Structure 1
Amino acid sequence: MTRERTLAAAAARFDSGQLQHELTDLVRYQSESQNPDQLAVLATYLTEAIRPRLEAAGFACTSHDNPVAGGGPFLFAQRIEDAALPTVLIYGHGDVVLGQAEHWSEGRAPFELRDEGDALYGRGSADNKVQHLINIMALETVLAQRGRLGFNVKIVMETSEEIGSPGLAQMMQQHAGTLAADVLIASDGPRLAADVPTMFMGSRGGIGFDLVVDLRDGAHHSGNWGGLLADPAMILAHALASITDARGQLRIPEWRPDSLTPDIRAALAGLPVGGTGGAGPQIDTDWGEATLTPAERAYGWNSFAVLAMKSGTPEAPLNAISGYARATCQLRYVVGTDAQGVLPALRRHLDAGGFEAVEVVPSEAGIFAATRLAPGHPWVSYVKRSITQTTGKAPHVLPNLAGSLPNDCFADILGLPTVWIPHSYMGCNQHAPDEHVLKSICREGLEIMAGLFWDIGEGGGPAPQ
């Protein structure tokens, strides 16, 4: 019963093909939370794919309906070895985005795992099925080697993360006592570089909204009415252009955070940004806040994006002035931003610029809150030491991910320190056709998590704060 034997046993689960075989089974579930017709599959994923193996590992499991209509169900599991031992909360989500089968490369299909070189292709392979599979397999490995974990574990599995985690906050509030723990350790999102482990302690928040200019019904001949009818597309374009300057720097004062403190700047110094090794496009160094480094722009600052725009009929343009224009927008924001004040500030800004005709329509998906744990927190140092011991590489440490996660449900509602250890990478095509995970990261991820769980069971983790 040694740490080294446990790491070897974890690696053997990959080398034997066990992880790939089990991931193949998980990917087959078409658990698309964005498709209301697949609601039954979300429940089946939890009851067939996850619950039996957790119960076999000594977990007591309970299923829960979502308190929000249209949201997928939850599975709670716990293995309590001794109330005096530390308790780790683990989270994962079994839902995926739409398969988009018609857009995958030839020979690939979203719900059939395909093995090509170092990549395993399939919808959910990276987000999030392999990530919670690795963590569960690591727990099983420690149990097999030690005969016990040496700490308590509670698991929350949801099936609506890809539609904004409706009901998760309510469930955390209703079951706060049951889910009490010392730390959240979970996996989602990408590594900063495929060959270096990453850990992050929170995420940027996300607020979605549409800007709409609705002036009249129908379109009218551009020759007969040009110069006489206001063009909603032009009004919308000018309104959008007023939100940032020509290089994307935010012009709304309330959208500019004050939380990029010296300790956060120090934590971000030297971290890679964007895809490495050809994973993703090259970043535009002349875009975004001019006084910030790329890492500070991505992880320590707010960013505004126009996700889609439409006026008229782009696929078949007519010689007519449209009466309607719409842009779907998003603000990714960090701790220190008043989330509830974002849209009112936008309204004031538009009115001050003479854009009263532009309507602000909040997204039905709601708001992901921003969270962040101090880089010097004891659990951060503890996990970093464990990962370094396992891999021989110091991990990249992010105060918060650039993307958004429902981490506020654990950090703010349950009051937990939160540490995320992703088992994917920037070029995984998450949410896109040809989603995949790298075998090399899966193998190392199994070793990392088995080593971390071994360490917690051996030494109990840092002292409670």
Structure 2
Amino acid sequence: MNRENFLSSVQAWFEQGELQKALASRIAYKTEGDLPVAPQELWGYLQDEITPYLEKMGFVSEIFDNPISGAAPILVSRRIEDVNLPTLLIYAHGDVVNGQDTRWQEGLNPWLLSQDGERWYGRGSADNKGQHTITLFGLERVLKAREGVLGFNVTVLMEMGEEAGSPGLGNFCESQKELLKANLLIASDGPRVNAETPTIFLGSRGLVNFSLQVKSRDKAYHSGNWGGVLVNPATRLVHALSHLVDAHGKILLDDLKAPALDPLIRDALKSVVVGKGKDDPAIDLAWGQLGLTPAEKLIASNTLEILALGSGQPDRPVNAIPSQAIAHCQLRFVVGTDWNNLLKHVHDYLVKLGFDDVVVRVNAFTPATRLDLKNPWVNWVKSSIEKTTGKQATVLPNLAGSLPNDVFADILGLPTIWVPHSYPACNQHAPNEHMLKPVAAEGLKMMAGIFWDLSEKSTATNFSWN
């Protein structure tokens, strides 16, 4: 069987509905990973759904306890053809955000895959059950077509706590470096630049979630009796925030800004269009850092967002000066940002401006990563995708969002290639999450093509994985 005939068979197989049927089974598991206590279904998904599926392909699986007590389990499944062959690592996560069951539109259930036109609705359809189902089914089709011989080994690493910030994943990979030893990571998560355009990204922006709090006293006081002589912590807080980010979303503290844009990255983003999809929100060209295109702002720069503000009783205000105020903020940042010292930078800056009553706390963080655009794997995967689809693929230096890619890039030392099968308006993390059937079909062919080409190349004497 040649490549063209193989991909035609993959398309025909997709139309038979087997992938959709498998996804429906996986959506039914209520694997909510962002709950205070990890539900038992996190273990059930790995044990009853994923492990049997992978074992049919010749994988040997083991479910590990998380290094952090009470955190979600981690699956490692390996298919070894020859210990001397190179190894591909595939990462995925089987947990989802909470279902928000009552907020879905009438007739939709987050735990029941349903189709409406080209949309497959269900929690996890886009993030990440649909995506890893496509990737693993692409591998399965290649294995069957090549009679079980790939010419390389495969390790699947699936965690169940990504939506909770991947607790313990870094520690686990650090302690299991030998088990997870590989030559390349290929994984699927996040969105394409738009539904029509095959996309590759090479890492992700990092994030730091931090809070600013002003506590002026232990209780509130009547605003008529005490207004004008008592400090209002909410007033103090909003003015402190105005020194970090201006009214047009521009970061004002130099230490939180992105480094100068690399010409190679600028060139890679010059044709990337943001906000033109059918269901995309209208973007504001005047928002954010000056002198950058929307794609450069989103992918190659830093953003400071105020996620939530709290003071007094916003749902039912009373005539009282509040005792305290808090703001939950987030810095999304690219490689080269001094994010490790964010707390010191923000604290010292605000103290210098007279806001010594503002307490700064860092609550969570994920480092930024970016594979070198010149890495040979980038063009290799891009060429495979373009050969399969007949379309020009977009290469993003990194995802605008955040993923635990630092675990693979920094701890395991791997080149990292991400091939997403979702699109920006998929309602990820929101009610009515869905996957587009045409994107799923094209994604399956893309992954099958990548694995086919990798198998073909692995048998060539002049092909190197290094």
TM-score by length of 1: 0.97
Q: Percent identity?
A: 50
Whole-angstrom distance in 2 between the partners of 1:107 and 1:407 = 37
2:172 maps to what in 1?
171
**Matched residue, 1:182:** 183
d(CA) in 1 for partners of 2:75 and 2:13?
A: 25
CA distance in 1 between counterparts of 2:248 and 2:241 reads 13
Matches within 5 A, 1:216-365: 216-258=217-259, 260-274=261-275, 276-363=276-363
**1:445 corresponds to:** 443
CA distance in 1, matches of 2:262, 2:428: 31
Partner of 2:126: helix, strand, or coil?
Answer: helix
CA distance 1:328–1:288, change in 2 (3 Å): same
Taking the TM superposition and a 5 Å limit, the aligned residue runs for 1:80-95 are 80-95=80-95
Deviation of residue 85 (structure 1)?
Answer: 2.7
CA distance in 2 between counterparts of 1:236 and 1:338 reads 24
Residue correspondence of structure 1 range 408-423 to structure 2 within 5 A? 408-423=406-421
1:422 CA drift (Å): 0.3
1:109 Cα offset (Å): 1.6
| Corresponding residue of 2:367 | 369
**CA 1:454 to 1:464, structure 2 compared with 1: closer, same or farther past 3 Å?**
closer
Q: Secondary structure of 1:125's match? A: coil
SS, match of residue 39 in structure 1: coil
| 2:325 alignment partner, SS class | strand
Inter-partner Cα distance in structure 2 for 1:271 and 1:253 = 27
Q: How far apart, in 2, do the equivalents of 1:248 and 1:388 lie?
A: 37
Cα contact 2:93–2:162 (8 A) shared by 1: yes
Distance 1:160 1:213 in 2: 32
- Is the CA contact (8 Å cut-off) linking 2:38 and 2:72 kept in structure 1? no
RMSD: 1.3
2:52 counterpart letter in structure 1: P
Query: 1:322 & 1:36 partners in 2: Cα distance?
Result: 29
Number of the residue aligned with 2:61? 61
- Separation of aligned partners in 2, 1:270 and 1:176: 38
Task: Look up the equivalent residue of 1:441 and give its one-letter code.
Answer: V
Equivalent residue for 1:160? 161
Shift of 1:283: 1.0
Equivalent position of 1:206 in the other structure: 207
Q: Is the 8 A contact 1:91 1:157 kept in 2?
A: yes
Report the Cα distance in structure 1 between the residues aligned to 2:432 and 2:169, rounded to whole angstroms. Answer: 29
Structure 1 residue matching 2:297: 3-state secondary structure: helix
Please, which runs of 5 or more residues in structure 1 have no aligned partner? Answer: none
1:424 to 422, 425, 440: 422
1:294, distance to aligned residue in structure 2 (A): 1.1
Check conservation: 1:139, 1:149, Cα contact below 8 A: no
Q: What is the match of residue 134 of structure 1?
A: 134
**Residue 454 of structure 2 aligns with which residue?**
456
Q: CA deviation at 1:252?
A: 1.3
Secondary structure at the aligned position of 2:76 is classed as strand
Q: Write the distance in 1 (CA, Å) between the matches of 2:156 and 2:303.
A: 33
Cross-structure match for 1:2: 2
Residue 62 of structure 2 aligns to a residue whose secondary structure is strand
Between the aligned partners of 2:343 and 2:401, the Cα distance in structure 1 is 20
Q: Matched residue pairs, number?
A: 462
| Contact 2:37 2:70 (C-alpha < 8 Å) held by counterparts | no
> Where does residue 44 of structure 1 map in the other structure?
44
Question: 372-381 or 403-412, which moves further after superposition?
Answer: 372-381
Give the counterpart letter for 1:19 in structure 2: L
Q: Please give the secondary structure, in 1, of the residue aligned with 2:186.
A: strand
Moved more, 14-23 or 197-206: 14-23
| Counterpart for residue 117 of structure 1 | 117
Q: Give the 4+ runs in structure 1 shifted more than 3 A.
A: none
Tell me, in whole angstroms, the C-alpha distance in 2 between the residues paired with 1:114 and 1:87: 36
SS of alignment partner, residue 408 of structure 1:
helix
Separation (CA, whole Å) in 2 of partners of 1:211 and 1:85: 52
Cα distance in 2 for partners of 1:259, 1:6 equals 45
Letter in 2 for 1:269: K
State the one-letter code of the partner of 2:335.
Answer: V
Aligned residue type for 2:184: V
Deviation at 1:12, TM superposition (A): 2.6
Between the aligned partners of 1:358 and 1:37, the Cα distance in structure 2 is: 32
C-alpha displacement at 1:13, in angstroms?
A: 3.1
Q: Deviations over 1:339-386 (max 9, x none)?
A: 2112211111111111111111221xx311100012221000100000
1:142-157 superposed matches below 5 A:
142-147=142-147, 148-157=149-158
1:11-50, aligned counterparts within 5 Å? 11-50=11-50
Structure 2: unaligned runs, 5 residues or longer: none
Q: Deviations over 1:425-463 (max 9, x none)?
A: 000011111111100100000000000000000012962
- Please name the residue that 1:104 is paired with: 104
